[in-house]
């Protein structure tokens, strides 16, 4: 690499600055033992007592290739071994820094290590006779020591590794966003011989670093294409050249010009862009579709890869804000891009009036390639509803099918441990970099809130704000031990709210008692019913007590259907099945919509993230009247027996975050209660937290609601100042009390 390795040293120095070990203005003593040749510091400041700031040492090292400045910085951070560790953390194992410049130059000049470690290379080299000081640089002077230098594998990199390294700096991936920006600025001020630059059109912006040592003639940098066409990283390494430097430099310039011309002629279409697979009509003009290629495991970039689809919904504003909103769906394993209706709804979102909105399918979900898919679990929940089976039998059936599915995936060679919130966070950062976005806002719902927290930790410079709707907290165990408590808490709140509402209490006295009677009756004699299945085909189903509570669970998800829960209990207790039929068809399990059940991505991600060394936890206390019901009561068994090494995984911990955050919870949420938002708020430096008194899960589903106004104001103010006035006037649900009042159209899922 010759002196191009100094870019890596600079990045590692700035990583230490980012960690607070020292600052850019920290003064570092230039000790006499570190003086070297090819150095402004050694030539201009021969006396002891010199100290130079970190920033100025970086400038000298990278713009003038000052060897003394290089070794002073290397010494300050712990030497080449520290750089190797730093490079390893960045995933750049093919780029090696093994020695100081003094050690490299001693080998090159054929000089032994001095007996006195205080002897600098500068003094050692200057003590040689003048002809010896020139000999190593002559073309006809390549003696045995020089041949040994040429063959030494240390301090080397492939051009590909150096290119990946530059890409990380230009994408703000390393060392930090501020550190990367500083490196780019310094490299753009390079005073070194022009190689790449001599082939580029005049005025082309170029940031680069050369490296020269006898027959090694290198240049590594990034140049801009015209008209905002992007940037190109180019690395040319020449070793063992048998022609003068001028010839080599001209050849590097010719290579650079050929690369420039090729890219400049190429289409400006981004490499990620694909044709949108939707017949979107007029909406299509606002859509831009793409596929992101990422490694299945971020620590194995050369291994298996997956692609994730995404859609950019462009704002209706003539000049939208530069920070788009990215939606992180829940599930996990949902696939919002399967539905043009979902895309169209987001296109109408108030956020889109000022910002682009980006939707994507998380790894493992449908439309990703390859997806995590098994046919059996997709049908298990629906079939379990159809059959007359007990609660325990339902759980056992779904768990068996899930374990069979995970076993099939492993047998196919799928790395199911690569699917979790941390991996999704890396995907998000890769997407932001691919799109060239400096910062964005993460809008997340349900399980997406867990992934958003991971993304904010993995990419703190890229996340401007978090809007977390239906929040998971680091210590939550909602899919296992806390499931019964969360459902019971939400249902009890509905019963309490009805009793406190005059009309509801009058229409449905003793509602809790009546619900208990309904469950006892269904346990003794399940209902046999016929409902409309997918496409309207008639379907015979059996409704047990746990099936009925499953219907209630999903009704509590939606602000409109939770208002029907008291009426559902009343009508079923009186033998009226009309409302129950509608809820089964449209809400849970939604037979009229195909009744998708939990899939492979759901099981895999939940177990990887949530089942750790802390599990299994004791079941949290819940109202015994609801018999410990949980919609996901099978998950403990799935995770415990899915060959998942829980003991090796650290339990999730609360991490202090400074990113501005809005926490939204529904008072009647049966899955992610407001308890979790309260818990998470303690670890946030700047936060607005709101419980929506008339909502269940996913409070932002109603775009014109007060909570959407709160979210819009949050995006503008980032939790500074008061909330919108409507926040002080939020009301609880207005329960339906008569079938005649129920809207005739089927409620949305």
CATH number, domain containing residue 706: 3.40.50.1820
Residue that has been written with the tokens 């309260």 in this structure: 678
User: Who has greater pLDDT, 93 or 194?
Assistant: 194
Q: What Cα–Cα distance (Å) separates residue 744 from each residue in 582, 589, 739, 740, 747?
A: 10, 20, 10, 9, 9
Question: Which residues, 6 or more positions from 356, have their beta carbon under 8 angstroms from its beta carbon?
Answer: 312, 313, 314, 315, 320, 324, 325
Of 116-130, 155-169, 473-487, minimum mean pLDDT range: 116-130
- Same-domain check for residues 298 and 404: no
Residue at a domain's end among 227, 261, 295: 261
- Same-domain check for residues 646 and 660: no
Confidence of residue 589 (pLDDT cuts 50, 70, 90): low
Closest CA to 223 of 233, 211, 215: 233
Average pLDDT over residues 665-676: 97
- Same-domain check for residues 247 and 297: no
**Spatial separation of the C-alpha atoms in residues 196 and 209, rounded to whole Å:** 10
Tell me the three state secondary structure of residue 308. strand
Tell me the three state secondary structure of residue 212. strand
Render 393-424 in DSSP notation, one character per residue. HHHHHHHHHHHHHHHHHHHTT--GGG-SHHHH
The token pair at 486 is 């969360």
- Same-domain check for residues 458 and 366: yes
What pLDDT is recorded for position 591?
Answer: 65
Sign of the C-alpha dihedral, residues 578, 580, 586, 589?
negative
**Spatial separation of the C-alpha atoms in residues 403 and 643, rounded to whole Å:** 9
Residue 268 covered by a domain = no
User: Who has greater pLDDT, 131 or 400?
Assistant: 400
What pLDDT is recorded for position 163?
Answer: 94
Residue at a domain's end among 261, 289, 319: 261
Tell me the three state secondary structure of residue 232. strand
- Same-domain check for residues 454 and 402: no
Per-residue pLDDT of 545-584, as tens digits, reads 999 999 999 999 999 999 999 999 999 999 999 999 999 8
Per-residue pLDDT of 70-88, as tens digits, reads 999 999 999 999 999 998 8
- Same-domain check for residues 367 and 484: no
Domain count of the chain?
A: 3
Is 80 exceeded by the pLDDT of residue 643? no
Q: 187 — phi, psi (to 5°)? A: -65, -30
What pLDDT is recorded for position 500?
Answer: 97
Residue 267 covered by a domain = no
Residue 714 covered by a domain = yes
Could you tell me the strand order of the sheet in which 231-238 lies? Answer: 206-213, 216-224, 231-238
- Same-domain check for residues 615 and 743: yes
595 CB burial (10 A radius; 0-12, 13-18, 19+): buried
Residue 151 covered by a domain = yes
Confidence of residue 749 (pLDDT cuts 50, 70, 90): very low
- Same-domain check for residues 387 and 343: no
What pLDDT is recorded for position 603?
Answer: 92
What pLDDT is recorded for position 136?
Answer: 45
Residue that has been written with the tokens 């006295």 in this structure: 509
Average pLDDT over residues 246-269: 85
What pLDDT is recorded for position 230?
Answer: 84
pTM tops 0.85, yes or no: no
Confidence of residue 656 (pLDDT cuts 50, 70, 90): confident
**Spatial separation of the C-alpha atoms in residues 162 and 234, rounded to whole Å:** 9
Question: Which residues, 6 or more positions from 448, have their beta carbon under 8 angstroms from its beta carbon?
Answer: 327, 328, 329, 330, 332
Is 90 exceeded by the pLDDT of residue 308? yes
Is 50 exceeded by the pLDDT of residue 137? no
Question: Which residues, 6 or more positions from 381, have their beta carbon under 8 angstroms from its beta carbon?
Answer: 398, 589, 595, 597, 598
Helix H or strand E encompassing 521: helix 511-524
Average pLDDT over residues 438-465: 95
Question: Which residues, 6 or more positions from 666, have their beta carbon under 8 angstroms from its beta carbon?
Answer: 470, 559, 674, 691, 692, 695, 696, 697, 698, 699
Tell me the three state secondary structure of residue 325. strand
Is 80 exceeded by the pLDDT of residue 138? no
Is 50 exceeded by the pLDDT of residue 648? yes
Q: Residue 484 belongs to what domain range?
A: 373-414+477-652+728-749
What pLDDT is recorded for position 144?
Answer: 61
The token pair at 578 is 């009309």
Is 60 exceeded by the pLDDT of residue 378? no
Residue 332 covered by a domain = yes
What pLDDT is recorded for position 267?
Answer: 47
Average pLDDT over residues 647-667: 86
Confidence of residue 747 (pLDDT cuts 50, 70, 90): very low
Q: What is the mean pLDDT of the chain?
A: 89
What pLDDT is recorded for position 684?
Answer: 92
**Spatial separation of the C-alpha atoms in residues 448 and 470, rounded to whole Å:** 9
Confidence of residue 140 (pLDDT cuts 50, 70, 90): very low
Percent of the chain scoring above 70 in pLDDT: 93
Q: What's the CATH code of the domain at 93? A: 3.40.710.10
Percent of the chain scoring above 90 in pLDDT: 64
What pLDDT is recorded for position 581?
Answer: 93
What pLDDT is recorded for position 730?
Answer: 93
Average pLDDT over residues 615-635: 91
- Same-domain check for residues 538 and 409: yes
Residue 388 covered by a domain = yes
Residue 623 covered by a domain = yes
Average pLDDT over residues 161-187: 91
Is 90 exceeded by the pLDDT of residue 128? no
Average pLDDT over residues 483-502: 97
- Same-domain check for residues 186 and 308: no
What pLDDT is recorded for position 194?
Answer: 81
- Same-domain check for residues 439 and 556: no
What pLDDT is recorded for position 385?
Answer: 67
Average pLDDT over residues 34-48: 91
Residue 246 covered by a domain = yes
Is 70 exceeded by the pLDDT of residue 116? yes
Is 60 exceeded by the pLDDT of residue 134? no
Average pLDDT over residues 491-520: 97
**Spatial separation of the C-alpha atoms in residues 208 and 222, rounded to whole Å:** 6
Is 60 exceeded by the pLDDT of residue 746? no
Is 50 exceeded by the pLDDT of residue 272? yes
Is 70 exceeded by the pLDDT of residue 743? no
Alpha-carbon 563 to chain mean position: 36
- Same-domain check for residues 213 and 301: no
| Residue 384: count of CB within 10 angstroms of its CB | 24
């Amino acid at each position: 690499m010759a002196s191009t390795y100094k870019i890596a040293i600079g990045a590692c120095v700035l990583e230490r600055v980012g960690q607070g070990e020292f600052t850019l203005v920290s003064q570092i003593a230039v000790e006499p033992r570190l003086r070297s040749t090819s150095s402004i510091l050694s030539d201009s400041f021969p006396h002891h007592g010199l100290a130079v700031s970190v920033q100025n040492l970086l400038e000298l090292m990278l713009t003038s290739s000052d060897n003394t400045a290089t070794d002073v910085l290397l010494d300050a951070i712990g030497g080449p071994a520290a750089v190797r560790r730093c490079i390893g953390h960045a995933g750049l194992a093919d780029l090696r820094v093994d020695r100081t410049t003094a050690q490299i130059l001693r080998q090159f000049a054929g000089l032994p290590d001095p007996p006195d470690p205080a002897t600098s290379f500068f003094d050692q080299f200057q003590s040689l006779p003048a002809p010896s000081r020139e000999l190593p640089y002559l073309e006809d002077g390549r003696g045995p020591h020089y041949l040994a230098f040429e063959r030494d594998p240390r301090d080397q990199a492939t051009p590909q590794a150096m290119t990946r390294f530059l890409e990380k700096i230009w994408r703000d991936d390393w060392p930090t966003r501020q550190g990367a920006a500083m490196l780019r600025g310094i490299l753009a001020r390079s005073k070194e011989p022009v190689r790449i630059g001599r082939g580029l059109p005049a005025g082309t912006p170029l940031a680069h670093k050369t490296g020269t040592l006898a027959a090694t003639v290198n240049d590594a940098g990034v140049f801009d294409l015209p008209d905002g066409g992007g940037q190109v990283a180019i690395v040319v390494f020449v070793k063992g050249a048998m022609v003068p430097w001028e010839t080599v430099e001209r050849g590097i310039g010719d290579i650079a010009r050929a690369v420039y011309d090729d890219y400049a002629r190429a289409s400006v279409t981004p490499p990620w862009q694909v044709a949108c697979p939707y017949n979107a009509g007029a909406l299509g003009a606002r859509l831009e579709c793409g596929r992101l290629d990422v490694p299945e495991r971020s620590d194995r970039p050369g291994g298996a890869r997956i692609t994730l689809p995404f859609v950019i919904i462009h704002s209706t504003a003539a000049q939208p804000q530069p920070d788009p909103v990215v939606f992180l769906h829940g599930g996990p394993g949902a696939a919002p891009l399967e539905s043009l209706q979902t895309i169209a709804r987001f296109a109408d979102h108030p956020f889109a009036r000022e910002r682009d909105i980006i939707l994507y399918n998380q790894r493992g979900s449908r439309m990703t390639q390859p997806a995590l898919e098994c046919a059996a679990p997709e049908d298990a929940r629906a079939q379990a509803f159809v059959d007359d089976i007990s609660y325990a039998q339902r759980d056992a059936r779904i768990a068996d099918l899930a374990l069979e599915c995970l076993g099939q995936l492993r047998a196919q060679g799928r790395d199911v441990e690569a699917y979790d919130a941390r991996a999704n966070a890396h995907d998000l950062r890769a997407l932001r970099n691919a799109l060239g976005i400096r910062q964005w806002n993460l809008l997340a719902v349900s399980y997406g809130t867990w992934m958003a927290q991971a993304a904010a930790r993995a990419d703190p410079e890229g996340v401007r704000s978090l809007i977390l709707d239906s929040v998971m907290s680091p210590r939550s165990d909602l899919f296992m031990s806390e499931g019964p408590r969360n459902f019971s808490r939400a249902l009890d709140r509905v019963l309490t709210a009805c009793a406190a509402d005059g009309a509801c209490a009058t229409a449905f006295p003793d509602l809790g008692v009546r619900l208990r009677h309904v469950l006892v009756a269904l346990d003794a004699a399940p209902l046999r019913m016929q409902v409309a299945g997918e496409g309207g085909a008639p379907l015979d189903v059996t409704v047990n007590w746990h099936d009925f509570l499953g219907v209630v669970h999903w009704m509590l998800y939606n602000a409109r259907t939770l208002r029907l829960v008291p009426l559902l209990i009343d009508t079923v207790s009186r033998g009226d099945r009309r409302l129950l039929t509608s809820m089964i068809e449209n809400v849970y399990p939604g037979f009229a919509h195909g009744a998708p059940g939990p899939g492979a991505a759901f099981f895999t991600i939940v177990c990887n993230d949530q089942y750790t060394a802390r599990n299994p936890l004791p079941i949290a206390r819940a109202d015994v009247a609801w018999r410990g019901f949980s919609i996901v009561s099978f998950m403990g068994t799935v995770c415990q027996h899915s060959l998942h090494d829980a003991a090796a995984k650290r339990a999730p911990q609360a991490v202090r975050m400074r990113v501005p955050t809005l926490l939204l919870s529904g008072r009647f949420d049966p899955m992610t209660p407001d308890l979790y938002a309260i818990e998470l708020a303690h670890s946030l430096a700047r936060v607005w937290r709101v419980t929506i008194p008339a909502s269940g899960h996913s409070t932002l589903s109603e775009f014109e609601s007060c909570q959407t106004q709160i979210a819009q104001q949050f995006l503008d103010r980032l939790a500074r100042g008061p909330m919108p006035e409507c926040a002080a006037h939020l009301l609880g649900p207005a329960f339906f009390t008569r079938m005649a009042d129920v809207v005739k159209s089927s409620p949305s899922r």
